Amino acid sequence: MRFAQIYLFTYAQFVISIIIHEAGHLLFGLLTGYSFVSFRVFSYIWMRDGGRIVFKRRKGPFVGQCLMAPPKGEKFPFVLYNAGGGLMNFIFAAGFFAAFAACAKGSPGSRLFNAGVYINLFMGIMNLLPFRMGGMTNDGLNIRYALESPAAARGMYIMLQANYECVNGKRPRDYAEGDFALPPDANLSNHLVAYTVLLEADRLWDLGRAAESVALLENLPLDRLPVGYQVAGRARALYYYLVKEPDFGRAKELYGDKRVRRFLNAKNTPAADIAAAAKYFIERDRESALKLLDRAKARAASSISKGTIHMNAEMIRELEKKFAEEPADPFSP
């Protein structure tokens, strides 16, 4: 019974700590001039739609996420916004410790608050100490990189602003040539700088310049970037070599990457359209491909990022046309 209670309290505090962390980003963002875009905990999302806040449920890979639009200006404030989540965890860890000290030893309340102390301390430390773990970056690393490099600080600003504009309906192709330009000596191993390249690749793709888009992605030092960048870049290239310019050898090489397959085969993969192409053309599994295509349609229709809905819909229509042709062996190796 005691073990079950500890497990329950630990899980409850884990969820609470995520809410606290994202609320910290929200609070410190508002205090430094940011505008609210969306707030997510698991599949529950509160977002600004026009002049009102609406609630939606969307499945996805995120446990928690707070999106905000940065204040305009050449030197926008980013330290407190990024640090806000970890700082809020530390503040609540102190509060939980005070509550723990006030409770009777061994009582359910003391166990609940004790779990809150340790979990929030862990969340704060893991987010504010600047390091990369398992291919994932954290808030502390974002701060360090942006302080060290003007190109990284600009990349962070572009990332936040583009996310805001995408939610509000701006498509990648709506950006002008040069909006995502980088200095010749830009460090592409810096994930904030590399994100600018990913946005330029999206812009070119949305303009119908797929070959240029994939060339940009293939020139990125993907193995030195967070795993999310790696799988996103390689999955886009995989689609290109399956659908745009079929190259069976290159496509199989990309699909042979376990991380790419794991990304595409995840239950709530954000790239169900690319997963459908891989199932159809590489695994020759038409039934699974069609199911994935239906999932991609549903995801595109319910996306909170209005700017990507039309681009995703075009990819889906392209796949439907390819699947309708039912080639016996599309690559004829």
pTM over 0.75: yes
Distances (CA, A) of 54 to 16, 50, 249, 298, 303: 22, 10, 46, 20, 14
DSSP string, 121-171: HHHHHHHHS---BTTB--HHHHHHHHHH-HHHHHHHHHHHHHHHHHHTT--
Contact 288, 279 (CB under 8 A): yes
Mean pLDDT, range 118-141, rounded to an integer: 88
Note the pLDDT tens digit of each residue in 190-224: 999 999 999 999 999 999 999 999 999 998 998 88
| Predicted local distance difference test score (pLDDT) of residue 333 | 44
Mean pLDDT, range 305-323, rounded to an integer: 85
Q: Please report which confidence band the pLDDT of residue 264 belongs to, taking 50, 70 and 90 as the band edges.
A: very high
Note the pLDDT tens digit of each residue in 112-121: 888 889 999 9
Q: Please report which confidence band the pLDDT of residue 326 belongs to, taking 50, 70 and 90 as the band edges.
A: low
Note the pLDDT tens digit of each residue in 213-254: 999 999 899 888 888 888 999 999 999 999 999 998 999 999
Q: Is pLDDT at 2 greater than 90 in this prediction?
A: no
Helix 258-265 × helix 272-281 angle, to 10°: 110
Return d(Cα 248, Cα 254) in angstroms, integer.
10
| Predicted local distance difference test score (pLDDT) of residue 315 | 87
Q: Please report which confidence band the pLDDT of residue 268 belongs to, taking 50, 70 and 90 as the band edges.
A: confident
For the chain, the average pLDDT equals 88
Q: Please report which confidence band the pLDDT of residue 49 belongs to, taking 50, 70 and 90 as the band edges.
A: confident
Q: Is pLDDT at 329 greater than 60 in this prediction?
A: no
Contacts of 130 (CB under 8 A, 6+ apart): 138, 140, 141, 143, 144
Q: Is pLDDT at 328 greater than 50 in this prediction?
A: no
Name which residue leads in pLDDT, 145 or 302.
145
Q: Which run of H or of E encompasses 209?
A: none
What are the structural domain ranges in the chain? 2-128, 174-325
String of b and e for 104-134 (b: at least 16 CB within 10 Å)?
Answer: eeeeeebbbbbbbbebbbebbeebbeeeeee
| Predicted local distance difference test score (pLDDT) of residue 109 | 78
Three-class DSSP category at 18: helix
Q: Which run of H or of E encompasses 15?
A: helix 2-31
Q: Is pLDDT at 73 greater than 80 in this prediction?
A: no
| Predicted local distance difference test score (pLDDT) of residue 236 | 95
| 3-state secondary structure labels for all residues of 170-208 | CCHHHCCCCCCCCCCCCCCCCHHHHHHHHHHHHHHHHCC
Q: Is pLDDT at 332 greater than 60 in this prediction?
A: no
Percent of the chain whose predicted confidence (pLDDT) is above 70: 94
DSSP string, 255-283: HT-HHHHHHHHSTT-TTHHHHHHHHHHTS
